[in-house]
Amino acid sequence: MVDLTLTARSLELLLGDWRGSGSAYEALAERIRLLIVDGRIGVDTRLPAERDLAERLGLSRTTVTAAYRHVREQGMLHSVRGSGSVARLPGAPAMLPAPLDHEYIDFSKAVLPALPWLPEVARQAVDDLPAYLSDAGFDPIGTPALRAAIADRYTARGLPTAPEQIMVTIGAQHAIALLSRALIGRGDRAVIEVPIYPHAYEALRAAGARLVPVPVAPHVTGDDDREETAGLVQAIRHSNPVAAYLIPDFQNPTGRTMSRTARARVLDAAARQGTVVIADETTAELNIDRRGEFPPMAADGPAVLIGSVGKTVWGGVRVGWIRAERPLIRRLLAVRSPGDLGTPILEQLIVTRLLDRMGEILELRREQLRAGRDGLEELLGRHIPEWDVPHVDGGIVTWVGLGASVSSQLALTARREGLIVAAGPRFGVDGAFERFLRLPICYSPETTDAAVQALARAWRSLAHAPVAEPEPELLASVV
């Protein structure tokens, strides 16, 4: 059954600047197809009626009818008389049932490889398990040992923390969803940065939030982020949001770090307004060569913190956490049980052991990321020198300027070259960022070299060859 209906106004925002030099119906059809392939129009979403969209776009109904028919002929719309047109992906589900074929490079996921000593630690954690087997095994808040270890880590980073301020979750995404359900009611406003990690704003929207986007300036450093700070402060003061979701360190996807001065100003404005600031710090400790001291954001004012080991240990260890004051922890416990009954014990035991080795882990990651960043910059400068590649000082990605509004088209063309990459608009909420592409800096030299060469081939062929139809099972799942 179809749950979602896209209004003509919403589709207009997603379409952005869709008109090209060819016929209007072909340009409109191509943009709708790109939006479906890239996941910005979800499978089973009902598109607006032809008459409504024609009025909204200032087109004849004949043009919109022809565009819908063209997309339908490509197998990406299913129309039933009296029920409208519904987005679909022919031949395969939107989510991958199995790993991608090895002939493809998946650059849509910004993830480091698993720690080399992870299997050894996992075997050691099994020896700790018998002490927990007499219990039921359902753990909605976290084992005392892990909560204490996480609290100690915050304290070591400059933010005194008690174990009672910690809830252990099933990764950072689970933490975002829990906080969204606990803090946001339908129709409440929530401030977000744009571009933004897409699964974060999806969680906020699922909770009923009305999003208030504030642009992020990717190239600012230090106290040069006054303009961005002013935008956040103004949005908090004028929109009266219940929450604000920020990534203060090595933001995904831009890589920028918010200065200490900016953090204090934003947190002060939020405290005055009664807005809860949610600071996602999953990449906060992935420093390469950033100057200055940057403790957790809550050291500069009231903030709820999210962390995880998905970016430092391995994405397959699904353990994250929330640091908050005790009343909010109790509130989170109340909203958690309808969705899950707790974090797996064995994975908590693994992470408890690994937190004792965090210095060693971060040193390894620093060298891996330094090599990945420098290698990507050198390769892009050699193969695609016209792109604007910012020099990031940490994190896992860089936000490349293409110089033209072709990101979605480039992402589709790259699939023909064996590369899967997430288009810039995947990180927006309204179809923006067609001039940008997020690229990871955390892959091996061999993989990065192959990926850049594929991008270069796709870039050169973009203006000279039609885009091949991508296999539906190769849709980017952004991480």
Q: Share the mean pLDDT of the chain.
A: 89
How many domains does the chain fold into? 3
pLDDT at 97 (0 to 100): 36
Q: What DSSP string describes 178-205?
A: HHHHHH--TT-EEEEEES--HHHHHHHH
Q: What is the pLDDT of residues 48-100, one digit of tens each?
A: 999 999 999 999 999 999 999 999 988 888 887 666 888 886 643 333 333 44
Domain presence at residue 466? yes
Kindly state the average pLDDT of the residues 313-333. Answer: 97
pLDDT at 226 (0 to 100): 74
pLDDT at 66 (0 to 100): 93
Domain presence at residue 432? yes
Structure tokens at 225: 């982020």
Residue 136 and residue 38 share a domain:
no
Whether 397 and 253 have beta carbons less than 8 Å apart is answered as yes
Residue 293 and residue 309 share a domain:
yes
- Checking if the pLDDT of 42 tops 80, the result is no
Q: What is the pLDDT of residues 156-206, one digit of tens each?
A: 999 999 999 999 999 999 999 999 999 999 999 999 999 999 999 999 999
Residue 382 and residue 348 share a domain:
no
CA dist., res. 374 & res. 449, Å (int): 12
* CATH code for the domain in which residue 69 is found: 1.10.10.10
Q: What is the pLDDT of residues 59-69, one digit of tens each?
A: 999 999 999 99
Lowest-pLDDT choice from 220-224, 240-244, 324-328 = 220-224
Residue 300 and residue 434 share a domain:
no
Q: Residue 342: give the domain boundaries.
A: 118-356
* CATH code for the domain in which residue 410 is found: 3.90.1150.10
pLDDT at 90 (0 to 100): 60
Residue 444 and residue 376 share a domain:
yes
pLDDT at 181 (0 to 100): 96
pLDDT at 82 (0 to 100): 66
Q: What is the pLDDT of residues 399-422, one digit of tens each?
A: 999 999 899 889 988 988 999 999
pLDDT at 218 (0 to 100): 66
3-state secondary structure (DSSP) of residue 296: coil
The predicted model scores a pTM of 0.81
- Checking if the pLDDT of 20 tops 80, the result is no
CA dist., res. 26 & res. 23, Å (int): 6
Domain presence at residue 321? yes
Q: What is the pLDDT of residues 282-297, one digit of tens each?
A: 999 999 999 999 999 9
Give helix 326-336 / helix 172-183 axis angle, nearest 10°: 100
Residue 251 and residue 122 share a domain:
yes
Helices (H), 223-357: 226-239, 260-273, 326-336, 345-355
* CATH code for the domain in which residue 179 is found: 3.40.640.10
Residue 207 and residue 167 share a domain:
yes
Most confidently predicted of 136-140, 246-250, 475-479: 246-250
Residue 338 and residue 229 share a domain:
yes
Whether 41 and 32 have beta carbons less than 8 Å apart is answered as yes
pLDDT at 5 (0 to 100): 82
Residue 391 and residue 351 share a domain:
no
Kindly state the average pLDDT of the residues 21-31. Answer: 85
